[in-house]
Amino acid sequence: EDKVVQSPLSLVVHEGDTVTLNCSYEVTNFRSLLWYKQEKKAPTFLFMLTSSGIEKKSGRLSSILDKKELSSILNITATQTGDSAIYLCAVEALTNFGNEKLTFGTGTRLTIIP
Amino acid sequence: DGGITQSPKYLFRKEGQNVTLSCEQNLNHDAMYWYRQDPGQGLRLIYYSQIVNDFQKGDIAEGYSVSREKKESFPLTVTSAQKNPTAFYLCASSITESTDTQYFGPGTRLTVL
């Protein structure tokens, strides 16, 4: 069965610190890895990673995929209180029927202290 | 086992037909949600329910309907009015609507033929 594991489960840091969130996966027929930020109802899409070793960047957030290690990291530099949220990792895989399915990790709860 | 289940995993529908996707949870969560995911895009909220017998439209509710007659169940009907229904549908639940942590089901892949 496909599995996505995130660590740490929760993280509390001071404003201005840099954080690294981890995601590891075991899936068959990997297609892509996605990162989401969840604050209220619907998670907000952050990044989609398909190629190993290529960093995706958006402002203070960046992410990279390591297909050899079956993992990804999400970095947030110069953290702000608005970064407090749950960060979800999800892996998209191809099923035997040729469709895609999405498996979510349990998330990392990040709290930024002013 | 505690958790959130969706059925069926794969569903095929002819154009013009309504179809209902099941979502059940035994986590005793008050809030439940339906999302749609299309290739290369993030999740989009279709409907959510904070409590039994109550539900609210999300960002893309047109062409969908829901009911919440029991706490454990939140079925989603994709009607013939939904113009582009082929997608991956995810159901989620959380303890309350104000709680951030949502637990996701395995999803249903709907294909319209």
Task: State both tokens at B55.
Answer: 């539900």
The partner residue sitting opposite B40, judged by closest CB among A48, A95, A97, is: A48
Residue B87: its pLDDT value, please? 92
Residue B15: its pLDDT value, please? 87
Q: Please give the Cα distance from A92 to B18 (Å, whole number).
A: 27
| Separation in Å, CA of A23 to nearest CA in chain B | 17
Residue A104: its pLDDT value, please? 86
Task: State both tokens at A62.
Answer: 């960046």
A7 reaches B (C-beta below 8 A):
no
Residue A100: its pLDDT value, please? 67
Residue A49: its pLDDT value, please? 93
The partner residue sitting opposite A41, judged by closest CB among B33, B88, B111, is: B33
Q: Which residues of chain B have pLDDT under 70?
A: 1-2, 40, 97-100
Q: Do B61 and B2 meet the contact criterion of CB atoms below 8 Å apart?
A: no
